[in-house]
């Protein structure tokens, strides 16, 4: 039935592109605003910050967006090929994304980048699994308290 | 598929006649003659796969008639309680609220700008490199042109979409309902901000353009 949190596969690529791009633009605005403000001489701090935001924030957004979108494309493709969902999908997708985006730097660069991205995604997935198992420990079913052979709650 | 319990279906379908006593009982256990029946096989008919598991008799509509499975997977069918309940925000595009609008809007605009700019860069790169150039040089020229034009147009379009959706969402929250004036105002502010370092006249032109585009877009979404 309808999933309310995440859309199905082909269309979620657009969502991921847009979400990653927005995140990058907003984060880049803050980052380069502060950087431009600090690196400008006093008196030109405001214009320096605006110039830095104008020239740099869209680039950060574009980098984030292309990473997230390419990752989502690979994720959907791997899901379609493997026909199952497990933590190896994002790891493989991260590997492919890192390789694809570093392709113009030559084979060595692409390989190193792919391995780095795969390891990064493996760490993310591991942390996610650990967090969810830690969170679900609180709601583990417990044996009812028995006193005289009769459960107290009954 | 190897059925682990007993013989395969072909053996049970053509069971040979039981051997009479005057004939010598020849049991060939060589693997090449699979038709010969060993005593253990001929004693009892081997179990078959139940017929309801075969593919042609598997009918999803009979599994649960009320679930509506025969209509197929309705993946894009957002249920009513997941949709945005802001008055006047129901268009022909299903949306969960401003964050959905933001992600899909900026994603569509960014990818569209990227594709358009990339196509323009492709044409430019092919035009600039001489026809006699080797393939590797041509490829490099095309890639350079694509990566210069595509991200520039994509970034600009994506930023316009982000700004428009953020202001639109702010107006919706502030006025507690959505109408075309929210969209037009958001487009106006976006256009003015986009050219805010170029002077008054470019700001006015860009704001008017974006406001008109937002008005047309909100008319289209409400008309369909």
Contact B185, B164 (CB under 8 A): no
Instruction: Give the residue from A1, A17, A36 with the most B CB atoms within 10 Å of its CB, the best one to mutate.
Output: A17
Contact B166, B102 (CB under 8 A): yes
Based on the domain organization, do A14 and A64 belong to the same domain? Answer: yes
CA distance B151 to chain A (A): 7
Based on the domain organization, do A15 and A75 belong to the same domain? Answer: yes
Q: Which of A14, A48, A49 lies closest to B102, judged by CA?
A: A14
Helices A9-39 + B98-128 axis angle, to 10: 80
**Segment A21-29 mean pLDDT:** 94
Decide if A142 is inside a domain: no
Distance CA B25, CA A76 (A): 61
Decide if A117 is inside a domain: yes
Q: What is the pLDDT of residues B83-93, one digit of tens each?
A: 666 666 666 67
Decide if A143 is inside a domain: no
Which residues, at least 6 apart from A26, have a Cβ–Cβ distance to it below 8 Å?
A: B162
Based on the domain organization, do A77 and A91 belong to the same domain? Answer: no
Decide if A153 is inside a domain: no
Comparing A5-19, A117-131, B26-40, B179-193, which segment has the lowest mean pLDDT? B26-40
Query: Is it the case that residue B37 has pLDDT exceeding 60?
Result: no
Average pLDDT, chain B: 74
List the structure tokens of B34. Answer: 């699979």
**Segment B25-37 mean pLDDT:** 50
List the structure tokens of A127. Answer: 């942390």
Decide if A70 is inside a domain: yes
**Segment B35-45 mean pLDDT:** 49
List the structure tokens of B41. Answer: 């096989």
Contact between B107 and A59 using a beta-carbon 8 Å cutoff: no
List the structure tokens of A109. Answer: 């660069």
**Segment A60-71 mean pLDDT:** 92
Based on the domain organization, do A39 and A92 belong to the same domain? Answer: no
Average pLDDT, chain A: 86
* Structural domain boundaries enclosing A113: 86-134
Comparing A58-62, B1-5, B92-96, which segment has the lowest mean pLDDT? B1-5
Based on the domain organization, do A78 and A95 belong to the same domain? Answer: no
Based on the domain organization, do A100 and A77 belong to the same domain? Answer: no
Decide if A111 is inside a domain: yes
Q: Among partner residues A22, A50, A66, which is closest to B102 by beta-carbon distance?
A: A22
Decide if A98 is inside a domain: yes
Contact between A21 and B107 using a beta-carbon 8 Å cutoff: yes
Of A56, A82, A108, which residue constitutes the final position of a domain?
Answer: A82
A146: β partners: A151
Which positions in chain B touch A15 (Cβ < 8 Å)?
A: 100, 103-104, 107
Contact B188, B215 (CB under 8 A): no
Q: Which of B143, B154, B120 lies closest to A62, judged by CA?
A: B154
Based on the domain organization, do A14 and A53 belong to the same domain? Answer: yes
Q: What is the pLDDT of residues B91-107, one digit of tens each?
A: 667 777 788 888 888 99
Residues A25, A31, A33, A35, Cα dihedral to 10°: -150
pTM greater than 0.80? no
Domains: count for chain A: 2
Contact B41, B10 (CB under 8 A): no
Query: Is it the case that residue B46 has pLDDT exceeding 60?
Result: no
Query: Is it the case that residue B117 has pLDDT exceeding 90?
Result: yes
Pick left, alpha or beta for residue B136 (phi over 0 → left; psi -120 to 50 → alpha; otherwise beta): alpha
- This complex has an ipTM of 0.77
> What's the alpha-carbon Rg for chain A, to the nearest Å?
23
Query: Phi and psi for A150 in degrees, rounded to 5?
Result: -115, 130
Q: What is the pLDDT of residues A131-143, one digit of tens each?
A: 988 888 777 777 7
Q: What is the pLDDT of residues B182-202, one digit of tens each?
A: 889 999 999 999 988 888 999
Decide if A18 is inside a domain: yes
Which positions in chain B touch A54 (Cβ < 8 Å)?
A: 197
């Amino acid at each position: 039935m309808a999933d309310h949190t995440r859309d199905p596969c082909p269309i979620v690529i657009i969502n991921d592109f847009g979400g990653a791009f927005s995140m990058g633009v907003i984060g880049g605005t803050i980052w380069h605003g502060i950087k431009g403000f600090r690196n400008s001489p006093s008196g030109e701090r405001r214009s320096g910050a605006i110039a830095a935001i104008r020239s740099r924030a869209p680039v950060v957004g574009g980098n984030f967006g292309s990473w997230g979108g390419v990752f989502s494309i690979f994720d959907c493709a791997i899901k379609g090929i493997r026909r199952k969902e497990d933590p190896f999908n994002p790891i493989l997708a991260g590997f492919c994304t890192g390789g694809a985006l570093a392709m113009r730097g030559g084979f060595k660069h692409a390989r190193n980048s792919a391995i780095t991205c795969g390891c990064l995604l493996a760490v993310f997935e591991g942390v996610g699994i650990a967090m969810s198992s830690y969170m679900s420990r609180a709601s583990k079913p417990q044996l009812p308290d028995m006193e005289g052979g009769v459960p107290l709650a009954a | 598929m190897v059925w682990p319990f007993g013989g395969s279906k072909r053996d049970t379908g053509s069971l040979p006649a039981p051997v009479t006593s005057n004939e010598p009982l020849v049991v060939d256990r060589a693997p090449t003659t699979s038709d010969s029946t060993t005593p253990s096989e001929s004693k009892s008919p081997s179990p078959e796969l139940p017929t309801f598991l075969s593919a042609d008799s598997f009918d999803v509509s009979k599994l649960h008639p009320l679930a509506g499975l025969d209509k197929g997977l309705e993946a894009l069918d957002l249920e009513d309680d997941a949709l945005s309940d802001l008055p006047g925000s129901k268009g022909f595009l299903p949306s969960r609220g401003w964050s959905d609008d933001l992600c899909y809007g900026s994603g569509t605009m960014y990818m569209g700008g990227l594709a358009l700019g990339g196509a323009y860069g492709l044409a430019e790169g092919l035009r600039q490199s001489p026809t006699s150039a080797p393939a590797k040089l041509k490829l490099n020229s095309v890639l350079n042109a694509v990566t210069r034009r595509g991200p520039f147009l994509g970034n600009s379009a994506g930023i316009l979409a982000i700004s428009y959706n953020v202001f639109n969402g702010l107006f919706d929250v502030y006025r507690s309902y959505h109408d075309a004036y929210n969209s037009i105002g958001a487009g106006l502010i976006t256009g003015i901000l986009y050219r805010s370092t170029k002077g008054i006249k470019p700001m006015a032109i860009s704001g008017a353009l974006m406001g008109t585009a937002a008005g047309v877009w909100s008319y289209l979404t409400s008309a369909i």
